Amino acid sequence: MQSNGYKKRLKKPIIIILSLLTLSCGVPSFTTSLSTLFERESIRVGTLYGAATFYNGADGPQGFEYELLAGFADYLGVTLDLYPFYSYEVLLQQLEEGNLDLVATGDAVTSDLLARFDYGPAYQHVSQQLVFQAGTAKPRSLNGLEKPIVTVSGSSQAHILNEKLSDESLLNPNMLITTEDSDSEELLQQVANGDIAFTIADSNRLALQRRRFPNLAVALTISKDIPIAWALPRSQDDSVKAALIEYFGTVHQSGWFTALEDKYFGHIRQFDYVDSRAFNNAAETTLSQYKSLFQKYSGELDWRLLAAMSYQESHWEPEAVSRTGVRGLMMLTMDTAGDWNVDDRTDPEQSIRGGSRYFASLVSRIPARIREPDRTWMAMAAYNIGMGHLEDARVLTERQGGSPDLWVDVKRRLPQLRQKKYYRTTKYGYARGDEALQYVENIRRYYDSLVWLDEQGNI
């Protein structure tokens, strides 16, 4: 195969439902695709590099698809042998030849791909959109485009456009270009930079990239509500597919899938062009004045997270004052400033030092059983509305059958803190919980942008 595998063995394997196999005295009576995985003690998975699929981050392997795949290997109790590819065509060929057990690219399922492969259950649905650079002429239809659409060879976007060719009135075949030299994310960047005029992107990838390139605009929605699922070889039996159905049913029922989806996509699906552009401009200009201070006082925190909080609080204006009287880069109250030895809230160094130490103290007060990144988002909400109101939201969450330890559940109850029928039952009463929710989601978007800008060397 083309790529070196990334091996991952997870702890605490779960024994899957025995009805997936025909058993005799606890041993399969015949060989199935699933029993082969058990005998091999590994599952061979192909994927593509990308922000939403798999990449090696500072803390190890990351990506929405990677975490789902790691969970499936854990579910089976086998090693995850992950093979990242650079080419769709080579990847799919390896699956057809039986060198891979499944393929997970976060790509949509099209009719011609369905003719070649079997698929597990759909776990997301996306739209396919024609993307152009804001400020240039917006096309009204696919017919009559003056410049070509560029897509990645073998991708679902290329397949969808080829399907459109069956209707000659919709698309001129000379206006289609496919490439293996760039991936989908790079094509979006090329549109933003004006290097190419158009590409097709699914709504997930576009949402991720628009935080980095606010001038990406949607001209047309080509296809709506297309399923995303993992591909399986048509030559094998249905035992692995049955295991996938059980796995996705389990992770949906437990709430883990919802939490994972929120981690990668929940904060970016709402897009504000003006805010995103203003933030990126400020990050490349104003932030340099305070970057060293955020780094100096970050401690165990990520300095870019503190910087994102500061932008949300004050837009990096050291003299900023809110309607409630909080002041400075980190918008400290008089009481908080006193608690953390801040004499002058408008002094950038004192404000950053006090704000970072106060936030670190909130993180430490979140129950230890709450995992990252949930504990950070909850501490951030507490920075905005106070720990007492956060606890009220967690109590409401538990009363209503949600998990008080999952941010994706707690954030849904924060707006209830300003509704009388809910806040009158809480210990600390009324709070602007909807603002705290927006506060956290904004910071998460700013943080993602800062991480990317930092990796590009732009801040």
Indicate which CATH number applies to the domain containing 331. 1.10.530.10
Of 2, 85, 8, the closest CA to residue 46 belongs to 85
> Among 214, 246, 266, which residue terminates a domain?
266
Give me the pLDDT at residue 337, please.
94
- What are 263-319's pLDDT values in tens digits? 888 776 666 667 888 898 899 999 999 999 999 999 999 999 999 999 999 999 999
Q: How many domains does the chain have?
A: 3
For the record, the structure tokens of 452 come out as 């990317």
Average pLDDT estimate for 39-57: 89
Give me the pLDDT at residue 171, please.
66
Percent of the chain with pLDDT over 90: 65
How high is the mean pLDDT of the chain? 88
Question: Do 39 and 88 sit in the same domain of this protein?
Answer: yes
> Among 197, 227, 257, which residue terminates a domain?
227
- 5 pLDDT higher than 80: no
- 18 pLDDT higher than 50: no
Of 106, 225, 210, the closest CA to residue 155 belongs to 106
- Catalytic residue numbers read 313
- 14 pLDDT higher than 70: no
- What are 93-107's pLDDT values in tens digits? 999 999 999 999 998
Question: Do 104 and 140 sit in the same domain of this protein?
Answer: no
- What are 173-230's pLDDT values in tens digits? 778 899 988 889 899 999 999 999 999 999 888 988 887 888 999 999 998 889 999 9
Question: Do 103 and 135 sit in the same domain of this protein?
Answer: no
Give me the pLDDT at residue 170, please.
61
Question: Do 350 and 280 sit in the same domain of this protein?
Answer: yes
Question: Do 144 and 218 sit in the same domain of this protein?
Answer: yes
Question: Do 157 and 239 sit in the same domain of this protein?
Answer: no
Question: Do 355 and 435 sit in the same domain of this protein?
Answer: yes
- 153 pLDDT higher than 60: yes
Of 350, 237, 244, the closest CA to residue 297 belongs to 350
In-domain check, residue 1: no
Question: Do 169 and 261 sit in the same domain of this protein?
Answer: no
Indicate which CATH number applies to the domain containing 160. 3.40.190.10
Question: Do 46 and 150 sit in the same domain of this protein?
Answer: no
Segment holding 45, helix H or strand E:
strand 42-48
Query: What band does 66 get if pLDDT is binned at 50, 70 and 90?
Result: very high
Question: Do 259 and 204 sit in the same domain of this protein?
Answer: no
Cβ neighbourhood burial of 457 (10 Å; 0-12, 13-18, 19+): exposed
- 36 pLDDT higher than 50: yes
Average pLDDT estimate for 405-419: 95
Question: Do 308 and 449 sit in the same domain of this protein?
Answer: yes
Task: Say how far apart CA 191 and CA 142 lie, in whole Å.
Answer: 17
Are 396 and 416 within 8 A, CB to CB? yes
- 24 pLDDT higher than 60: no
Given 3-state DSSP classes, what are the helix, strand and coil percentages for the chain, each rounded to the nearest 5?
50, 15, 35
Query: What band does 7 get if pLDDT is binned at 50, 70 and 90?
Result: low
Question: Do 340 and 401 sit in the same domain of this protein?
Answer: yes
Q: Which residue has the higher pLDDT, 174 or 12?
A: 174
Give me the pLDDT at residue 4, please.
46
| Domain extent at residue 251 | 6-120+229-266
